[in-house]
Chains A and B, each alone.
Chain A
Amino acid sequence: MAITKPKPKQEKTKADDFISGAPDGAAEADPRKPKYVKKGKKLQITLTIAQPLLERVDELAAKLGQSRAAVINLAVYQGLESGLNINGDPVA
Protein backbone atom coordinates (compact mmCIF):
# COMPACT_ATOMS: atom_id res chain seq x y z
CA MET A 1 0.00 0.00 0.00
CA ALA A 2 1.63 3.21 -1.15
CA ILE A 3 -0.60 5.51 0.82
CA THR A 4 0.08 5.47 4.52
CA LYS A 5 -2.49 6.73 6.92
CA PRO A 6 -1.59 9.49 9.32
CA LYS A 7 -0.54 8.47 12.81
CA PRO A 8 -3.61 8.25 14.98
CA LYS A 9 -3.69 10.86 17.67
CA GLN A 10 -2.54 9.27 20.87
CA GLU A 11 -4.35 9.89 24.09
CA LYS A 12 -2.64 12.62 25.99
CA THR A 13 -1.02 11.47 29.19
CA LYS A 14 -0.37 13.46 32.31
CA ALA A 15 3.28 13.66 31.29
CA ASP A 16 2.27 15.21 27.95
CA ASP A 17 0.18 17.80 29.76
CA PHE A 18 3.07 18.53 32.11
CA ILE A 19 5.52 19.00 29.23
CA SER A 20 3.24 21.13 27.08
CA GLY A 21 2.35 23.24 30.12
CA ALA A 22 5.70 25.05 29.84
CA PRO A 23 5.61 28.68 28.75
CA ASP A 24 7.06 27.74 25.36
CA GLY A 25 4.56 24.89 24.89
CA ALA A 26 2.42 25.55 21.84
CA ALA A 27 -1.15 26.34 22.73
CA GLU A 28 -3.34 23.98 20.77
CA ALA A 29 -5.97 25.47 18.52
CA ASP A 30 -9.42 25.14 20.02
CA PRO A 31 -11.59 23.42 17.38
CA ARG A 32 -14.69 25.15 18.74
CA LYS A 33 -13.20 28.56 18.15
CA PRO A 34 -15.31 30.46 15.59
CA LYS A 35 -13.57 31.15 12.32
CA TYR A 36 -14.12 34.87 12.23
CA VAL A 37 -13.23 38.05 14.03
CA LYS A 38 -15.94 40.47 15.12
CA LYS A 39 -15.67 43.78 13.32
CA GLY A 40 -18.39 46.10 14.65
CA LYS A 41 -21.75 44.68 13.54
CA LYS A 42 -20.11 42.47 10.93
CA LEU A 43 -17.70 39.57 10.96
CA GLN A 44 -14.29 39.59 9.34
CA ILE A 45 -13.35 36.41 7.55
CA THR A 46 -10.47 35.22 5.41
CA LEU A 47 -11.29 34.71 1.73
CA THR A 48 -8.89 33.26 -0.82
CA ILE A 49 -9.71 34.16 -4.42
CA ALA A 50 -8.22 33.57 -7.87
CA GLN A 51 -6.55 36.61 -9.44
CA PRO A 52 -8.72 36.81 -12.64
CA LEU A 53 -11.88 36.56 -10.55
CA LEU A 54 -10.68 39.28 -8.19
CA GLU A 55 -9.81 41.49 -11.16
CA ARG A 56 -13.36 41.07 -12.47
CA VAL A 57 -14.75 41.88 -9.02
CA ASP A 58 -12.63 45.01 -8.85
CA GLU A 59 -13.67 46.07 -12.38
CA LEU A 60 -17.33 45.71 -11.48
CA ALA A 61 -16.77 47.54 -8.21
CA ALA A 62 -15.16 50.45 -10.06
CA LYS A 63 -18.03 50.54 -12.54
CA LEU A 64 -20.65 50.56 -9.79
CA GLY A 65 -18.68 52.92 -7.56
CA GLN A 66 -18.81 50.36 -4.79
CA SER A 67 -16.18 48.76 -2.68
CA ARG A 68 -14.74 45.33 -3.41
CA ALA A 69 -16.39 43.99 -0.24
CA ALA A 70 -19.77 45.41 -1.28
CA VAL A 71 -19.62 43.62 -4.64
CA ILE A 72 -18.61 40.33 -3.02
CA ASN A 73 -21.38 40.66 -0.43
CA LEU A 74 -23.94 41.52 -3.11
CA ALA A 75 -22.90 38.54 -5.24
CA VAL A 76 -23.05 36.16 -2.29
CA TYR A 77 -26.45 37.50 -1.25
CA GLN A 78 -27.93 37.27 -4.75
CA GLY A 79 -26.42 33.82 -5.21
CA LEU A 80 -28.00 32.60 -2.01
CA GLU A 81 -31.37 34.17 -2.85
CA SER A 82 -31.65 33.14 -6.46
CA GLY A 83 -29.84 29.82 -6.21
CA LEU A 84 -26.47 28.62 -7.52
CA ASN A 85 -25.69 26.61 -10.62
CA ILE A 86 -22.81 24.19 -11.06
CA ASN A 87 -22.22 23.15 -14.69
CA GLY A 88 -25.64 24.59 -15.52
CA ASP A 89 -27.44 22.47 -12.93
CA PRO A 90 -29.11 24.23 -10.05
CA VAL A 91 -27.67 23.05 -6.74
CA ALA A 92 -29.17 25.38 -4.22
Chain B
Amino acid sequence: MIITVGNTKGGVGKTTLAVNLAIARAMEGREVWLIDGDRQGTAQTAISMRADAGHLPGIACASYPDGQTLRAQVQHQASKFDDIIIDAGGRDSTALRAALVLTDVLLVPFQPRSYDVWALNDIAALVDEARSVRDGLRAIAVLNCADPGEHSTDNIDAAAAVADVPQFEYMTTSLRRRKAFANAAGQGLSVLELKPQDTKASDELKQLIKALF
Protein backbone atom coordinates (compact mmCIF):
# COMPACT_ATOMS: atom_id res chain seq x y z
CA MET B 1 0.00 0.00 0.00
CA ILE B 2 1.27 3.48 -0.82
CA ILE B 3 0.59 6.12 1.81
CA THR B 4 1.49 9.74 1.35
CA VAL B 5 1.82 11.90 4.42
CA GLY B 6 1.29 15.28 2.87
CA ASN B 7 0.00 18.76 3.39
CA THR B 8 0.66 21.99 1.56
CA LYS B 9 1.17 23.59 4.96
CA GLY B 10 4.45 23.09 6.76
CA GLY B 11 5.01 22.28 10.41
CA VAL B 12 2.06 19.94 10.83
CA GLY B 13 4.20 16.91 11.67
CA LYS B 14 4.37 15.17 8.28
CA THR B 15 7.94 13.97 8.53
CA THR B 16 7.60 12.92 12.17
CA LEU B 17 4.52 10.92 11.28
CA ALA B 18 6.00 9.44 8.11
CA VAL B 19 9.16 8.28 9.92
CA ASN B 20 7.08 6.80 12.75
CA LEU B 21 4.75 5.01 10.34
CA ALA B 22 7.55 3.61 8.20
CA ILE B 23 9.49 2.20 11.15
CA ALA B 24 6.39 0.82 12.87
CA ARG B 25 5.41 -1.06 9.70
CA ALA B 26 8.95 -2.36 9.24
CA MET B 27 8.87 -3.62 12.84
CA GLU B 28 5.82 -5.67 11.85
CA GLY B 29 8.01 -7.39 9.31
CA ARG B 30 6.81 -5.49 6.25
CA GLU B 31 9.14 -4.45 3.46
CA VAL B 32 8.95 -0.69 3.76
CA TRP B 33 10.26 2.05 1.54
CA LEU B 34 10.29 5.56 2.92
CA ILE B 35 10.44 8.28 0.29
CA ASP B 36 11.49 11.76 1.23
CA GLY B 37 9.83 14.14 -1.22
CA ASP B 38 10.91 17.23 0.66
CA ARG B 39 13.95 19.22 -0.47
CA GLN B 40 14.91 19.70 3.16
CA GLY B 41 15.59 15.96 3.32
CA THR B 42 14.70 15.67 7.02
CA ALA B 43 13.32 12.14 6.79
CA GLN B 44 16.40 11.02 4.90
CA THR B 45 18.64 12.56 7.57
CA ALA B 46 16.69 10.85 10.36
CA ILE B 47 16.96 7.48 8.64
CA SER B 48 20.70 8.04 8.07
CA MET B 49 21.09 8.63 11.81
CA ARG B 50 19.16 5.42 12.43
CA ALA B 51 21.48 3.53 10.12
CA ASP B 52 24.59 5.07 11.71
CA ALA B 53 23.38 4.04 15.17
CA GLY B 54 22.79 0.52 13.90
CA HIS B 55 19.11 0.35 14.83
CA LEU B 56 17.20 -2.54 13.32
CA PRO B 57 15.16 -2.98 11.23
CA GLY B 58 16.93 -0.81 8.70
CA ILE B 59 14.65 1.35 6.57
CA ALA B 60 15.05 1.73 2.82
CA CYS B 61 14.87 5.45 2.22
CA ALA B 62 15.17 7.48 -0.96
CA SER B 63 14.98 11.19 -1.58
CA TYR B 64 13.10 12.41 -4.66
CA PRO B 65 12.29 16.11 -4.47
CA ASP B 66 11.56 16.07 -8.21
CA GLY B 67 8.04 14.90 -9.00
CA GLN B 68 8.71 13.17 -12.31
CA THR B 69 11.64 11.22 -10.83
CA LEU B 70 9.57 10.27 -7.80
CA ARG B 71 6.77 9.04 -10.02
CA ALA B 72 9.03 7.05 -12.32
CA GLN B 73 10.93 5.43 -9.44
CA VAL B 74 7.82 4.49 -7.48
CA GLN B 75 6.19 3.01 -10.57
CA HIS B 76 9.38 1.09 -11.24
CA GLN B 77 9.97 -0.24 -7.74
CA ALA B 78 6.54 -0.38 -6.10
CA SER B 79 6.21 -4.13 -6.57
CA LYS B 80 9.32 -4.75 -4.46
CA PHE B 81 7.80 -3.29 -1.32
CA ASP B 82 4.82 -4.08 0.87
CA ASP B 83 4.41 -0.51 2.01
CA ILE B 84 5.64 2.76 0.56
CA ILE B 85 5.44 5.81 2.78
CA ILE B 86 5.95 9.12 0.99
CA ASP B 87 6.72 12.24 2.97
CA ALA B 88 5.78 15.15 0.73
CA GLY B 89 6.97 18.60 1.73
CA GLY B 90 5.09 21.45 3.34
CA ARG B 91 4.18 23.26 0.15
CA ASP B 92 2.65 22.62 -3.22
CA SER B 93 5.41 20.85 -5.15
CA THR B 94 5.92 18.47 -8.04
CA ALA B 95 6.84 15.77 -5.49
CA LEU B 96 3.56 16.22 -3.61
CA ARG B 97 1.59 16.16 -6.86
CA ALA B 98 3.42 13.10 -8.15
CA ALA B 99 2.65 11.39 -4.83
CA LEU B 100 -1.01 12.33 -5.21
CA VAL B 101 -1.08 10.69 -8.62
CA LEU B 102 0.36 7.43 -7.27
CA THR B 103 -0.76 7.05 -3.70
CA ASP B 104 -3.54 4.84 -2.39
CA VAL B 105 -4.09 7.04 0.63
CA LEU B 106 -3.24 10.64 1.33
CA LEU B 107 -2.89 11.18 5.06
CA VAL B 108 -3.12 14.86 5.92
CA PRO B 109 -1.98 15.68 9.43
CA PHE B 110 -3.23 18.97 10.83
CA GLN B 111 -3.06 20.65 14.19
CA PRO B 112 -6.07 21.99 16.05
CA ARG B 113 -5.13 25.56 15.10
CA SER B 114 -6.88 28.07 12.86
CA TYR B 115 -4.06 28.33 10.30
CA ASP B 116 -3.97 24.56 9.93
CA VAL B 117 -7.70 24.36 9.40
CA TRP B 118 -7.59 27.14 6.80
CA ALA B 119 -4.80 25.33 4.97
CA LEU B 120 -6.97 22.24 4.60
CA ASN B 121 -8.75 23.99 1.74
CA ASP B 122 -5.48 24.34 -0.18
CA ILE B 123 -4.64 20.68 -0.03
CA ALA B 124 -8.32 19.87 -0.73
CA ALA B 125 -8.04 21.80 -4.01
CA LEU B 126 -5.03 19.69 -4.97
CA VAL B 127 -6.94 16.53 -4.05
CA ASP B 128 -9.71 17.64 -6.40
CA GLU B 129 -7.21 18.20 -9.19
CA ALA B 130 -5.56 14.84 -8.55
CA ARG B 131 -8.95 13.13 -8.63
CA SER B 132 -9.61 14.66 -12.03
CA VAL B 133 -6.60 12.79 -13.43
CA ARG B 134 -6.95 9.51 -11.51
CA ASP B 135 -9.45 7.33 -9.66
CA GLY B 136 -9.58 5.98 -6.15
CA LEU B 137 -7.61 8.53 -4.14
CA ARG B 138 -8.55 8.27 -0.48
CA ALA B 139 -7.82 11.42 1.48
CA ILE B 140 -7.83 11.24 5.24
CA ALA B 141 -7.33 14.11 7.65
CA VAL B 142 -5.82 13.18 10.97
CA LEU B 143 -5.57 15.47 13.95
CA ASN B 144 -1.93 15.71 14.99
CA CYS B 145 -0.44 17.48 18.00
CA ALA B 146 -3.93 17.45 19.48
CA ASP B 147 -4.43 19.28 22.74
CA PRO B 148 -4.54 17.26 25.95
CA GLY B 149 -7.89 16.34 27.43
CA GLU B 150 -10.77 14.31 26.09
CA HIS B 151 -12.99 17.36 25.87
CA SER B 152 -10.60 19.92 24.40
CA THR B 153 -12.71 22.50 22.61
CA ASP B 154 -10.04 23.20 20.01
CA ASN B 155 -9.74 19.52 19.13
CA ILE B 156 -13.50 19.24 18.73
CA ASP B 157 -13.72 22.44 16.69
CA ALA B 158 -10.88 21.38 14.43
CA ALA B 159 -12.48 18.00 13.88
CA ALA B 160 -15.78 19.69 13.06
CA ALA B 161 -14.02 21.96 10.56
CA VAL B 162 -12.98 18.92 8.52
CA ALA B 163 -16.66 18.30 7.84
CA ASP B 164 -16.63 21.54 5.81
CA VAL B 165 -13.99 20.07 3.53
CA PRO B 166 -15.81 17.16 1.87
CA GLN B 167 -12.66 15.95 0.10
CA PHE B 168 -11.48 14.42 3.36
CA GLU B 169 -12.55 11.60 5.59
CA TYR B 170 -11.86 12.45 9.19
CA MET B 171 -9.89 9.87 11.09
CA THR B 172 -11.30 9.46 14.57
CA THR B 173 -7.91 8.33 15.85
CA SER B 174 -5.74 11.32 16.63
CA LEU B 175 -2.23 11.91 17.88
CA ARG B 176 -1.62 14.15 20.86
CA ARG B 177 1.17 16.67 21.17
CA ARG B 178 3.77 14.47 22.80
CA LYS B 179 7.49 15.04 22.93
CA ALA B 180 7.99 11.32 22.48
CA PHE B 181 7.01 11.48 18.78
CA ALA B 182 9.43 14.26 17.94
CA ASN B 183 12.23 12.97 20.16
CA ALA B 184 11.99 9.50 18.67
CA ALA B 185 11.84 10.74 15.07
CA GLY B 186 14.81 13.03 15.76
CA GLN B 187 16.91 9.95 16.44
CA GLY B 188 15.51 8.07 13.49
CA LEU B 189 13.35 5.95 15.80
CA SER B 190 9.65 5.33 16.11
CA VAL B 191 7.97 5.91 19.47
CA LEU B 192 7.61 2.14 19.72
CA GLU B 193 11.39 1.87 20.07
CA LEU B 194 11.90 4.59 22.66
CA LYS B 195 13.27 3.59 26.02
CA PRO B 196 11.71 4.22 28.46
CA GLN B 197 8.61 3.78 26.39
CA ASP B 198 5.85 6.35 26.22
CA THR B 199 2.93 3.92 26.26
CA LYS B 200 0.35 6.57 25.43
CA ALA B 201 2.28 7.69 22.36
CA SER B 202 2.86 4.08 21.32
CA ASP B 203 -0.82 3.28 21.69
CA GLU B 204 -1.78 6.27 19.55
CA LEU B 205 0.58 5.23 16.80
CA LYS B 206 -0.68 1.65 16.93
CA GLN B 207 -4.27 2.85 16.75
CA LEU B 208 -3.46 5.01 13.73
CA ILE B 209 -1.77 2.11 11.94
CA LYS B 210 -4.71 -0.16 12.72
CA ALA B 211 -7.11 2.37 11.26
CA LEU B 212 -4.95 3.02 8.19
CA PHE B 213 -3.90 -0.43 6.98
Asked if B67 is at the interface of the complex by the 8 Å CB criterion, the answer is yes
- A21 engages B91 (CB within 8 Å): no
- B91 engages A19 (CB within 8 Å): no
Interface string of A15-29 (1 = CB under 8 A from B): 111111111110000
Q: Which of B126-134, B171-179, B191-199 contacts A (4 or more CB under 8 A)?
A: B126-134
How many chain B residues touch A (CB < 8 A): the figure is 17
Interface string of B144-157 (1 = CB under 8 A from A): 00000000000000
- B97 engages A19 (CB within 8 Å): yes
Task: Point out the residues of chain B lying under 8 angstroms from A21, CB to CB.
Answer: 97, 129
Report if A25-B101 is in contact (Cβ < 8 Å); known contacts: A18-B129, A18-B133: no
Asked if B162 is at the interface of the complex by the 8 Å CB criterion, the answer is no
- Once the chains are docked, how many angstroms separate the CA of A22 from the CA of B123? 12
- B132 engages A19 (CB within 8 Å): no
Within the complex, the shortest CB–CB distance from A12 to chain B, in Å, comes to 11
Task: Point out the residues of chain A lying under 8 angstroms from B185, CB to CB.
Answer: none
- B133 engages A22 (CB within 8 Å): no
- List 23 interface pairs A-B (beta carbons < 8 Å), by A numbering: A15-B71, A15-B133, A16-B68, A18-B101, A18-B129, A18-B130, A19-B68, A19-B94, A19-B97, A19-B98, A20-B67, A20-B68, A20-B94, A22-B92, A22-B93, A22-B94, A22-B96, A23-B91, A23-B92, A23-B93, A24-B94, A25-B67, A25-B94
Chain B positions within 8 Å of A, measured between CB atoms, are 67-68, 71, 91-94, 96-98, 100-101, 129-130, 132-134
